[in-house]
Amino acid sequence: MRRRSIVATFLLGLAGAGMVSGVASATAPPAAGPIELYATAGDSPVGTIVVAGAIGDYGKTLSMDKNGKPDSNGNFVKITLKKGTFIVDSTVLNHKTATAKPSIVDKATCSFAFTGSGPVTLSHGTGLYTGISGTVTITLNFLGDGPFYTSGAKKGQCNMSNNAILRAQRGWIMGHGAVKFA
């Protein structure tokens, strides 16, 4: 109950400051400024995202190749938020993280952890995000537990091959940067 009252007080404060004024503020172009984001990552090309700051919105992500085809390892991400869409070019980030060393590799438990960072650029906005541009520094975090071989000469050993299907995994993306609108 206390949480609802804090949120209500915050929203009333925004309304009093003229920042929430009904439909007009929902369609007004956002001002340039800093943003922070949090998104999910995994072995699927789809995920979720929340953005705060100059963009205050939430929605879905779709990792894709340069032709727009869904691809978990694609260099582009379509961000579909409630008030519009834009494209993230993650080519530089993907290049920087492709050769980064894991921070943990434990063959006894068959688990690993990885962190990598790099810039992405924003463009091709629609809706409220028409004319978007900017650079965001992304930090990618990924943890996983791999399988053990169940037969053959390697039975009981950790299978860290590229085609191994992980038993469990969790990934998340955090970023900060600035956006502007043409």
Same domain, 42 and 121: yes
| Cα gap 144→93, rounded to integer Å | 20
Same domain, 142 and 55: yes
Same domain, 54 and 131: yes
User: What tens digit of pLDDT does each residue of 3-25 get?
Assistant: 443 333 333 333 333 344 333 34
Model confidence at 110: pLDDT above 80: yes
Is residue 96 within 8 A of residue 105, CB to CB? The reply is no
What pLDDT does residue 73 have?
A: 87
Same domain, 96 and 8: no
* Backbone phi and psi for residue 171, each to the nearest 5 degrees, phi listed first: -135, 150
Same domain, 144 and 168: yes
What pLDDT does residue 108 have?
A: 96
Q: How many domains does the chain have?
A: 2
Task: State the average pLDDT over residues 54-63.
Answer: 97
Same domain, 108 and 164: yes
User: What tens digit of pLDDT does each residue of 24-42 get?
Assistant: 345 677 899 999 999 998 8
Same domain, 152 and 68: yes
The reported pTM is 0.79
User: What tens digit of pLDDT does each residue of 67-99 get?
Assistant: 999 998 899 999 999 999 999 999 999 999 988
User: What tens digit of pLDDT does each residue of 155-173 get?
Assistant: 999 998 888 899 999 999 9
Secondary structure tally for the chain: helices H, strands E: 3, 9
12 is in which domain, residue-wise?
Answer: 1-25
Same domain, 129 and 52: yes
